[in-house]
Structure 1
Amino acid sequence: MEDKELNIIDHLDELRTRLIITLAAFIIFFIVGFMFVEDIYNWFVRDLDVKLIVLGPSDILWVYFMLAAVIGVAGTIPVLATQVWLFIKPALKPIERKISLSYVPALFILFIVGLCFGYFVIFPTVMGFLIELGGEMMVTNFTAEKYFRFIFNTTIPFGVLFELPVVMMFLTSLGIINPYVLTKIRKYAYFVLIIIAIFISPPDFMSDFLVAVPLIFLYEISVSLSKIVYKRKMKKQKEWEEQYGVEADTVEE
């Protein structure tokens, strides 16, 4: 009983260490983002014909913090993924350790790709639709706080959703899911993805279609990659069993 309690305490201590490292990385990237926030701001508003307005001094501070926070989150993702991998590494099989480590850089790359898709494809489409909706009835002015909140709401969800293939591959390599399960629940997954697309896009068919199709495509990519990982996992497990005469999960490094 005491050994189990000590083991739990050791795991909690390690978890705290991993969280502290991740938090420290976020603070560092946040400070870096804060230092270059003016350049980041100018890049985001480069295509606007008017200057953004603020309704109070606190809005200026909000913009600074939100822009720096986005840089902090983007830079922290590979650090967080690495810390998660190091935390669960002792519980992984030798084969799983090598495979899962390769997913760390992929998480960061796909997050950036998702942000780019949201910003360069979804954001201008949604923004154009909403401006045209107002037509000549209204004078279009943007506050800095509303403008950047709108950008983040139409880009950050795609940064997260674009990591779906890597997450599926990782869970497959751990044996938590397999491609047959993903294929079986495909219609339910489509329904959820379409609901997400409707929720984050303007209320018109073309915008919903423009968002839903990439999400469904991502799911199909996830299923295909899960099949590849699953076949490799089964093949390597069979090789371990033939070489050592025991099941792969009993072989230690």
Structure 2
Amino acid sequence: MEDKELNLVDHLDELRKRLILTAFAFLVFFIVGFIYVKDIYEWFVRDLDVKLIVLGPGDIVWIYFTIGSIIAIAGTIPVLAFQAWLFVKPALKPAERKVSLSYVPALFLLFIVGLCFGYFIIFPTIMNFLVELGGDMVATNFTADKYFRFIMSTTLPFGFLFELPVVTMFLTSLGIINPYVLQKVRKYAYFILVIIAAFITPPDFISNILVAIPLFLLYEISINLSKVVYKRKLKKEQEWEAEFSE
């Protein structure tokens, strides 16, 4: 009983250490984003025909913290993934350690790809649709607060959602899930993805469809990649059994 309690304490200490290192990395990247916030801001508004307005001093502070947080999240993703890998490393087999470590850079790359997809494809598509919908009925002006909130809501979720294939492959390699389970719960997963699409887009049907379709494709890609990993895992297990039987 005491040994179990000691193991639990050791695990909690290790988890605390990993979380502290991750929080420190977030703080460092946040400071970097805060320092270069003006350059980043100018890049985001480079294609706007109008100048953004603020309704109070608090909005300016919010912009600084928002841009700093986006940079911090993007930079902390690989650190968080690596710290998570170090935490579970002792429980993994040598082969599983090698395979799972390769997922760390993939998580960061897919996060960046997701952000780019959201910003360069989803964001302008929805933005142009909504602006054209107003036509000549209204004068189009944007507050900095609402503009950046809109960018975040249409880009940041894709950064996390694009990591679904890698997470699925990782969990499949550990034997936690398999492609057949993913196929069985497909209709429930689609329902959840539709809810996510409705949550991160403006309340119109077209925007929901534009976001839901790539999410469905991501889920199907995840299933197919899970099948590849699952077949390789079964093949290795059969090879190990054949070696031990000899």
Asked if TM exceeds 0.5, the reply is: yes
Which range is displaced more, 200-209 or 152-161?
Answer: 200-209
Counterparts in 2 of 1:72-111, with a 5 A limit? 72-111=72-111
Structure 2: segments with no counterpart, 5+ residues: none
Alignment correspondent of 2:179: 179
- CA-CA distance at 1:14 after TM superposition: 0.6
Alignment correspondent of 2:189: 189
Amino acid corresponding to residue 169 of structure 1 in structure 2 = M
- CA-CA distance at 1:188 after TM superposition: 2.1
1:223 pairs with 2:227: no
Instruction: Give, in whole Å, the separation in 2 of the partners of 1:152 and 1:203.
Output: 16
Instruction: Give, in whole Å, the separation in 1 of the partners of 2:146 and 2:25.
Output: 28
Instruction: Give, in whole Å, the separation in 2 of the partners of 1:245 and 1:29.
Output: 52
Counterparts in 2 of 1:119-198, with a 5 A limit? 119-198=119-198
Aligned residues: 246
Kindly tell me: are residues 58 and 206 of structure 1, through their superposed partners in 2, closer, same or farther at Cα, counting changes over 3 Å? closer
Amino acid corresponding to residue 119 of structure 1 in structure 2 = Y
User: SS state of the match for residue 82, structure 1?
Assistant: helix
Cα RMSD (Å) = 1.5
Alignment correspondent of 1:240: 240
Amino acid corresponding to residue 24 of structure 1 in structure 2 = F
CA contact (8 A) 2:153 2:201 kept: no
Amino acid corresponding to residue 179 of structure 1 in structure 2 = P
Question: What fraction of aligned residue pairs are identical, expressed as a percent?
Answer: 74
- CA-CA distance at 1:199 after TM superposition: 3.2
User: SS state of the match for residue 177, structure 2?
Assistant: coil
Which range is displaced more, 136-145 or 35-44?
Answer: 136-145
Instruction: Give, in whole Å, the separation in 2 of the partners of 1:7 and 1:241.
Output: 31
Instruction: Give, in whole Å, the separation in 1 of the partners of 2:5 and 2:202.
Output: 53
Counterparts in 2 of 1:11-90, with a 5 A limit? 11-90=11-90
Using the size of structure 2 for normalisation, the TM-score is 0.95
- CA-CA distance at 1:57 after TM superposition: 1.4
Which range is displaced more, 218-227 or 198-207?
Answer: 198-207
Amino acid corresponding to residue 63 of structure 2 in structure 1 = V
Amino acid corresponding to residue 218 of structure 1 in structure 2 = L
Amino acid corresponding to residue 176 of structure 2 in structure 1 = I
Using the size of structure 1 for normalisation, the TM-score is 0.92
- CA-CA distance at 1:205 after TM superposition: 4.3
CA contact (8 A) 2:168 2:222 kept: yes
Amino acid corresponding to residue 175 of structure 1 in structure 2 = G
Structure 1: segments with no counterpart, 5+ residues: 247-253
| Consecutive aligned runs of 4 or more in structure 1 exceeding 6 Å deviation | none
Instruction: Give, in whole Å, the separation in 1 of the partners of 2:202 and 2:25.
Output: 36
Instruction: Give, in whole Å, the separation in 1 of the partners of 2:221 and 2:103.
Output: 15
- CA-CA distance at 1:190 after TM superposition: 2.0
Which range is displaced more, 57-66 or 69-78?
Answer: 57-66
User: SS state of the match for residue 39, structure 1?
Assistant: helix
Instruction: Give, in whole Å, the separation in 2 of the partners of 1:125 and 1:14.
Output: 45
- CA-CA distance at 1:133 after TM superposition: 2.5
User: SS state of the match for residue 136, structure 2?
Assistant: coil
Deviations 1:50-90 (A, max 9, x none): 21111111211110111011000000000000000110111
